Amino acid sequence: MANMSVQLVAVERRLWSGEATAVVAQTTEGEIGILPGHEPLLGELVEGGVVRITTSDKETVTAAVHGGFLSVTADGVSVLAESAELAHEIDVAQAREDAKSADEQARARALSRLRAAGHSA
């Protein structure tokens, strides 16, 4: 199966980069799946979304992503997030507590962290 180069980058650090067979992200236009050879595009990521990358080793990298852009070019895919957390880094107890927040943005971020970590509120 064909591969593509993928980078998952937040303002503060690079979270993951490597070869992948697929990327699924939530954009303001809806959920989008990217496979090798996809037409170039630029999409705005939703606040409180989840990105899933299927690596060439058939592993899944999942991250809670908060704002930013998804860029697809002939060279590969770049997920450029304002902030992001890999699923295994998420403090589920803290995310559940944050999900109780009255602040809409904090609640959306907490719920995406829980989805990325495979939990519910």
Query: Which structural domain range is residue 112 located in?
Result: 91-116
In this structure, are 15 and 65 located in the same domain?
Answer: yes
Q: Quick one: average pLDDT of 43-47?
A: 95
The more confidently predicted of residues 42 and 121 is: 42
The answer to whether position 121 is within a domain reads: no
For the chain, the average pLDDT equals 94
Inside any domain, residue 70: yes
Q: Is position 111 within any domain?
A: yes
Specify the CATH number for the domain of residue 22.
Answer: 2.60.15.10
Phi and psi angles of residue 93, each rounded to the nearest 5 degrees, phi first = -60, -45
pLDDT for 102 equals 79
Same domain, yes or no, for 72 and 110?
no
Cα angle, residue 35 at apex, residues 44 and 17 outer, rounded to 5°: 70
Within 10 Å of residue 37's Cβ, how many Cβ atoms?
8
Domain count for the chain: 2
Same domain, 81 and 95: no
40 and 18 in a single domain? The answer is: yes
Poorest-pLDDT segment among 14-18, 22-26, 79-83, 116-120? 116-120
Decide which of 47 and 17 is more confident: 17
Could you tell me if residue 60 is inside a domain? yes
26 within a domain of the structure (yes/no) = yes
Tell me the per-residue pLDDT of 54-81, one tens digit each, with 9 for 90 and over.
999 999 999 999 999 999 999 899 999 9
DSSP for the chain reads: ---EEEEEEETTEEEEEEEEEEEEEEETTEEEEE-TTPPPEEEEBPTTEEEEEEETTS-EEEEEEEEEEEEEETTEEEEEEEEEEEGGG--HHHHHHHTT-SSHHHHHHHHHHHHHTT---
pLDDT at residue 121 tops 90: no
Query: Is 18 among the domain residues?
Result: yes
- pLDDT reading at 21 higher than 90: yes
- Clarify whether residues 52 and 107 are in a common domain: no
DSSP-assigned beta bridge partners for residue 67: none
Same domain, 41 and 68: yes
